[in-house]
Amino acid sequence: MARIELQNIAKNYGPVEVMRDINLEIEDGEFIVLVGPSGCGKSTLLRMIAGLEPITDGEFRVDGRRMNEVQPRDRDMAMVFQSYALYPHMDVARNMGFSLEIRKAPSQERAGKVHDAAKTLGLTSLTARLPKALSGGQRQRVAMGRAIVRDPSAFLFDEPLSNLDAALRVEMRLEIARLHQRLETTMIYVTHDQVEALTLADRIVVLNAGKIQQVGTPLDLYERPANRFVAQFIGSPTMNILEVAPADKGVLLKDGTLIGISPGTGHASASDLGVRPEHLNIVPEAAAHFSGTAELVEHLGSDTNIHARVPDIGQVLVRQHGHFPLKTGDPVHIAMELDKVHLFAPDGQRLEPVVGSG
């Protein structure tokens, strides 16, 4: 059990600053997902928590105790690596029991814990095998088993599913969620896959360029993204961003259409309007905010994605539920659900939109 605090954490490699002002409090038992594009520093942050990477500045505490200088082996955290990092010369059982072996636990206790973990993960028949005789999914399970056996105060996952194929990834994702429900241990999970983030997390930390962009529940991030980066990073397909100019009673799209929504008085003026594909609708011409032609129509069965080209505005993606009878080249008339529209200032920060006011 662990409550983890990061205070003003910074990381430099020589003169290069890769991370700064990282402040985060993780409650005991919480499932936190660090998400961001490659190179954003999410893995570095996890490695600093693990103790594999020195912390340049700031304080890292577990249950109120400063841990900056504590060796990885004394932090009582288990880590699952992206590469699995199984010991190739040890069989599955010894791999899983290695942490207990190092701590000189009695062999009976070791065997019992390994057996329990193997049973949970469906590895019982494989315990005598070497890692090279396992499939990718099995290796992944062994790596998780190795972490579980230790009964650590926190689990760290570094993109654990990115080497698996799509079907297996979904299955293992479920397994990790189940594991968290059962153990109720603090988990910190790094991924670049927003679906993993949205499905697993109690709270998501979005990172970009070494800084925290937003911390919140999956719904928070989806409904009220703190800035344009988060807005475009969370949600699939990506949010449409349309350039706008401020006007008296709302904002003006580039084709001159007035949209009756504004940041409210006293705030910075909006330069971008964001609207998710699922909050756009194909409507009769009279009700439309703008019109264009369908350039590409993707029929996914459950949904239809319509890539439309709108004169003066550009490419817009519309997502309609179910099968939508439309084909390439058809004219489309598009309306926004105004209560679901986001506004952003020129610096990318979110502006709280007010519908219908000036």
Partner 1 sequence: MSVHRHSSPLAVTGKYLALALYVGFALFPLYWLAKIAVTPDKLIYTEGTALVPSSFTLENFRTVLVATDFLYYFRNSLVVSLTTAAITTCIAAAAGYAFSRFTFRGKRLVVAIMLITQMFPLLMIIAPIYKIVAAVGLLNSLTSLIIVYTAFNIPFATFLMQSFFDGIPKDLEEAGMMDGCTRFQALRKIVLPLTLPGLGATLGFIFTAAWSELLFALMLINSNDTMTFPVGLLTFVSKFSVDWGQMMAAGVLALVPSCLFFIFIQRYLVQGLTSGAVKG
Which residue among 25, 37, 87, 328 contacts partner 1 (CB under 8 A)? Answer: 87
- Note whether 44 and 188 are within 8 A (CB): no
CB of 156 or CB of 253, closer to partner 1: 156
**Contact between 113 and partner 1 (CB under 8 A)?**
no
Minimum CB distance to partner 1, residue 90 (Å): 9
CB of 91 or CB of 175, closer to partner 1: 91
With CB under 8 A as the contact rule, which of the stretches 25-33, 35-43, 96-104, 168-176 interacts with partner 1? 96-104
- 311-340: burial string, b at 16+ Cβ within 10 Å, e else: eebeebbbbbeeebebeeeeebbbbbebee
Minimum CB distance to partner 1, residue 33 (Å): 20
Which residue among 29, 57, 61, 81 contacts partner 1 (CB under 8 A)? Answer: 81
Cβ-Cβ contacts under 8 Å for 53 (sequence gap 6 or more): 11, 44, 47
Q: What is the C-alpha to C-alpha distance for residues 191 and 183, in angstroms, rounded to an integer?
A: 21
**Contact between 141 and partner 1 (CB under 8 A)?**
no
**Contact between 136 and partner 1 (CB under 8 A)?**
yes
CB of 88 or CB of 106, closer to partner 1: 88
The residues pairing with 80 across neighbouring beta strands, listed in sequence order, are 157
**Contact between 114 and partner 1 (CB under 8 A)?**
no
Cβ-Cβ contacts under 8 Å for 255 (sequence gap 6 or more): 290, 310, 311, 312, 313
The three-state DSSP-derived secondary structure of 92-110 is HHHHHHHHHHHCCCCHHHH
Which residue among 123, 134, 198, 259 contacts partner 1 (CB under 8 A)? Answer: 134
Q: What is the C-alpha to C-alpha distance for residues 306 and 319, in angstroms, rounded to an integer?
A: 6
Positions that interact with partner 1 (CB under 8 A): 50-52, 71-73, 77-79, 81, 83-89, 98-99, 102-103, 130-134, 136, 139, 146, 150, 163
